[in-house]
Structure 1
Amino acid sequence: MESFVIEGGHRLSGTITPSGNKNAALPLLAAALLTSGRLILRNVPDIGDVQIKLALLEQLGVRVDQVAPHVYALTAAAIPAVDPDVAMARRIRTSPLLAGPLLARRGHVTLPRPGGDVIGRRRLDTHFLALRALGAAVEVTPTSYILSADGLRGADIFLDEMSVTGTEQAVLAAVLAEGHTTIGNAASEPHVQDLCRCLSQMGAQIAGIGTNLLEIEGVPSLGGADFTIGPDFMEVGSLIGLAAVTGSELRLAGARPRDHRMSRIAFGRLGVTWRDEGDDIVVPGGQELVVNHDLHGAIPKIDSAPWPGFNPDLISTALVVATQSRGTVLIHEKMFESRLFFADRLIGMGAKIVLCDPHRAVVVGPSQLYGEPEGLPSPDIRAGMALLTAALCAKGRSVIFNIGQIDRGYERIDERLAALGARIERAR
């Protein structure tokens, strides 16, 4: 099993270009099933979850051609009557997003329960409530979901939660449904916007992109498109935190700063600053991180929320940054009850953290972190990247195991950070 061996305490410098957005690439790959035309996707990240999704599509009859690095051409001329491979589908979280396109294209699909990060309960109810509203029959068994539809029809849908993948599921199914669909309480994250913009290029009629109310007029068929995926929002946030705690000056090229206005507010509570230069974000080196108190000296809170709130996938990085910021702050992860459980690893490295309950942690900083040569297991994608960040600012040597989790979301992160001066090696 591979691991990262890290020598902490060294500053990084230089320019790094964020990979394509993982959370946009995965639903966009599923969108290839909606058309017999050629869909070209550019800036596709070379990560584990993408490779599994591509293998699933090939198994479903999609022709997949890698025409250049990070560029794929997908053609689903015909969809055979086979269901997604169970073993592969269980390895990623987004396998349910195959449901909407397969229902729209051929009228039936059986899917296993998905895999992905173990960060608490991640309900799929929103997906199936939306599909039922569009006319699908859904049978839930202990191990699978059996779906069928004799044609999908537009509906007035109000989602029971502002779910990203639930919204994407509804959109993927509605674009070919007969008639008009309204999706209220829709998620509007940058990756949801990318999906809608690509579908629009393919001929879908979608209004309200970037808002919480989507209006979709179903069309009989979609064509091909050539679409470039935007920068990975989560990777940009992770790199901002990494630069801050290591005192590094980094330029994040093409980072789309307007997507990070709430991140600026949240990280700003920990004293992190950066400047926007065109489409780049530049994090200055040697920042003195000090917690900015609320009015009357009250302890501030960093909490997760649906877009445009602070993204829950960046809570793990914020926790690490808080350990290096002078003062006290409350970290509140509202959505997933196991996201903060990696805090005990940071405590073992020297962090002053009180885990109040599964959703809240009080952090008192700054703390000198010390390396963990005996090894830190990466529990999920974001906690793994957070532990990598902690190891890079710690004193001494650390080993991180189970790095396949990190590879699922961060493309060749060891090579790219080493190019900036990080002391990191992949051990086999």
Structure 2
Amino acid sequence: MTNAFVINGGKPLKGEITPQGAKNEALQVISAVLLTDQKVTISNIPDIKDVNKLIELLGDMGVSVERINGHTYTFEAKDINQDFFASETFKAKGGGLRGSIMIVGPLLARFGKASIPKPGGDKIGRRRLDTHFLGFEKLGARFHYNTADGFFNVDASNLQGTYILLDEASVTGTANVVMAAVLAKGTTTIYNAACEPYLQQLCKMLSRMGAKISGIGSNLLTIEGVEKLGGTEHRLLPDMIEIGSFIGLAAMTGSEITIKDVQYKELGMIPDVFRRLGIKLELRGDDIFIPAQDHYEIETFIDGSIMTIADAPWPGFTPDLLSIVLVVAIQAKGSVLIHQKMFESRLFFVDKLLDMGAQIILCDPHRATVIGLDNQVKLRGISMTSPDIRAGVSLLIAALSAQGQSTIYNIEQIERGYQHIDTRLKALGADITRI
């Protein structure tokens, strides 16, 4: 029997909620501990499956891991067991975790070789890893794919700095290439680099460890290779996807919610996109306060045409929040076109929303038009299954706003990205039970 959430919706919530540490940043900076034999302390680590699996994997490799409190760990990668990478354990654990690709860059940089099983993860269309591999190859790594055991073996005994134009501004791809380049000989220039806050955080952390990186926050990074890196302390940013999810949750359920400690300046255009949907939010210190609203009206463009919200590489709007925006628009006044440019198949969860009574036209795998109900009609509760992390939380928000009971199956998908989400929502007054 799989786990599920049973939700009795239609009740306004109230209170304060603190976002967890950023999942996507965690996978990068935790992998970066492999670049040094000295102690690295990382705090605000979210307690979620994807991150815990990566920490466990580091422990299996020989990293000494110590949990200081709920969200702070120290890592010391002194003695790495190279034989572990040929083992069945590594194949099973590494293959089941998308984030495991992130250990390749640091391993290549420090040890000159790495292996990686074919990775798994979300079902949201193809998510190519070519950017990672092409970047490593430019630095001088050679790949050998062993069809018999499904491993990529990589030889990088002589990494040399070089000019790299990334084929796409992939966040994980950029991070991986940066980690490989910090210990390469000579200077590496990465153009079309991703510049998300997570990546800026990684670069700042590496700089504190002794790396020489300039251009942080832009799409042109210059890295001067150094001999070795030392230890450091690092605190993760709050998860901007959670923050966006909670803004959407407040609007959709007509709730008064305060989101604590959001590091507002790192949120880019996220608050403004929600404002375009008519959601009122105000900054109080570093908290976002969302008042209870019966109605929110989607703006139109200046010429009167329908608002389009599309994702784009940072500083554009993050694709991870498009499903949230789509759900929140269901109860807005007005219409909006949601255009998912960066991944295919991420909009296929709208069939569940249609079953709940939403008015959405799925134009194609990338575009959906939402015709807002303006709270004239409430969604109705149904049974449904969550296809990926972000759709899962969108469906959860829809269920909390709906009348009647909803059941969401496959919540493992939600819990890969959101820690203790049921207990935290209960604290706001949500009627949610785990079965």
TM-score grouping bracket, smaller chain normalisation: over 0.9
Mean CA deviation greater in 279-288 or 21-30: 279-288
The count of corresponding residues between Structure 1 and Structure 2 is 425
Q: Specify the SS of the correspondent of 1:363.
A: strand
Deviations 1:398-428 (A, max 9, x none): 111111111110010100110011111111x
- 2:117 is aligned, of 112, 119, 127, to 112
Measured after TM superposition, the shift of residue 140 of structure 1 is 3.8
The residue identity in structure 2 corresponding to 1:109 is A
Contact 1:61 1:76 in 2 (8 A): yes
Residues 383-405 of structure 1 deviation map (CA, whole Å, 9 limit, x = unaligned): 00000000000011111111111
- Indicate if the aligned counterparts of 2:160 and 2:186 stay in contact, CA closer than 8 A: yes
User: Could you tell me how far apart the structure 2 residues matched to 1:207 and 1:75 are?
Assistant: 27
> Equivalent of 1:137, from 128, 139, 142?
142
- Equivalent of 2:192, from 185, 195, 219? 185
In structure 2, what is the equivalent of residue 60 of structure 1? 61
Residue 125 in 1 paired to residue 134 in 2?
A: no
Structure 2 letter corresponding to 1:175: V
Residues 345-384 of structure 1 correspond to what in structure 2 (within 5 A)? Answer: 345-366=352-373, 367-372=377-382, 375-384=383-392
2:429 alignment partner, one of 410, 415, 421: 421
Tell me which of 192, 207, 217 is aligned to 1:200.
207
Q: Distance in 2 between matches of 1:326 and 1:93?
A: 38
Confirm or deny that 1:214 pairs with 2:224: no
Q: CA deviation at 1:311?
A: 0.3
Cα displacement (A) at 1:273: 2.3
CA distance in 2 between counterparts of 1:305 and 1:140 reads: 32
CA contact (8 A) 1:207 1:214 kept: yes
In the alignment, structure 1 residue 39 sits paired with structure 2 residue 40:
yes
1:83 Cα offset (Å): 1.0
Secondary structure at the residue paired with 2:98?
Answer: coil
Shift in Å, 1:145: 2.0
Aligned equivalent of 1:86: 91
Asked if 2 retains the 8 angstrom alpha-carbon contact of 1:304 and 1:333, the reply is yes
Q: SS of the counterpart of 1:420?
A: coil
218 and 390 in structure 1: CA distance in 2 versus 1, 3 angstrom threshold = same
In 2: Cα distance, 1:313 partner to 1:390 partner: 17
Which segments of 5 or more consecutive residues in structure 1 lack a partner in the other structure?
none
2:26 is aligned with what amino acid?
A
5 Å-filtered alignment, 1:4-403, equals 4-81=5-82, 82-83=84-85, 85-140=90-145, 143-366=150-373, 367-372=377-382, 375-403=383-411
Out of 287-296 and 61-70, give the one that drifted further: 287-296
- 409, 415, 419: which one aligns with 1:407: 415
- Please give the alpha-carbon distance, in whole angstroms, between the structure 1 residues aligned to 2:309 and 2:390: 17
Distance between the aligned counterparts of 1:173 and 1:4, measured in 2? Answer: 41
Paired residues of 2:4 and 2:408 also in contact (CA < 8 A): yes
Q: Could you tell me which residue of structure 1 aligns to residue 4 of structure 2? A: 3
Q: For 1:370, give the aligned amino acid.
A: R
| Closer, same or farther: CA 182–346 of 1 in aligned 2, 3 Å | same
Paired residue type of 1:397: Q
Deviates more, 1:63-72 or 1:250-259: 250-259
User: 1:297, 1:388 → 2: CA distance?
Assistant: 32
Aligned to 2:7, the other structure's residue is in SS state strand
* 1:291-314 deviation digits (Å, cap 9, x = unpaired): 111123211101010001110000
Cα displacement (A) at 1:144 = 3.2
Cα deviation for residue 261 of structure 1 reads: 3.8
* Rounded Cα–Cα distance in structure 1 between residues aligned with 2:163 and 2:75: 32
Go from structure 1 to structure 2 and tell me whether the alpha carbon gap of 1:218 and 1:5 turns closer, same or farther (over 3 Å shift): same
Q: CA separation in 2, counterparts of 1:14 and 1:42? A: 25
Letter in 2 for 1:419: A
Ranges in structure 2 where 5+ consecutive residues have no aligned partner:
none
Measure, in 1, the Cα distance between the counterparts of 2:165 and 2:256. 45
C-alpha contact 1:104 1:151 (8 A) present in aligned 2: no
SS at 1:295's partner residue?
coil
Determine the C-alpha separation between the residues in 2 that align with 1:322 and 1:365: 6
Cα distance between partner residues in 2 of 1:140 and 1:280: 49
CA distance in 1, matches of 2:245, 2:273: 13
1:287 Cα deviation after fit = 4.8
Contact kept? 1:264, 1:273, Cα under 8 Å: no
2:139 maps to amino acid: L
Q: In structure 2, how many angstroms separate the alpha carbons of the residues matched to 1:41 and 1:261?
A: 24
Task: Give the letter for the 2:3 counterpart.
Answer: E
Please state how far the C-alpha of 1:268 moved relative to its aligned partner.
2.3
Could you tell me how far apart the structure 2 residues matched to 1:91 and 1:15 are? Answer: 35
Q: Distance in 2 between matches of 1:144 and 1:340?
A: 32
Contact 2:336–2:371 under 8 Å retained in 1: yes
- C-alpha contact (below 8 Å) 2:275/2:281 kept by paired residues: no
- Please state how far the C-alpha of 1:368 moved relative to its aligned partner: 2.1
AA paired with 2:201?
D
- C-alpha change, 1:277 and 1:107, in structure 2 (3 Å) is same
Structure 2 distance, partners of 1:227, 1:289, is 39
Does the 8 A contact of 1:370 with 1:396 survive in 2? Answer: yes
Name segments (4+ residues, structure 1) moved above 6 Å: none
Measure how far apart 1:139 and its partner are: 2.6
Matched-pair identity in %: 51
Cα deviation, residue 289, structure 1: 1.3
Whether contact under 8 Å (2:111, 2:157) holds in the other structure is no
Q: 1:37 to 1:304 in 2, by over 3 A?
A: same
CA contact (8 A) 2:323 2:347 kept: yes
Q: How much has 1:170 moved relative to structure 2? A: 0.8
In 2: Cα distance, 1:144 partner to 1:349 partner? 44
Q: Which moved more, 1:254-263 or 1:402-411?
A: 254-263
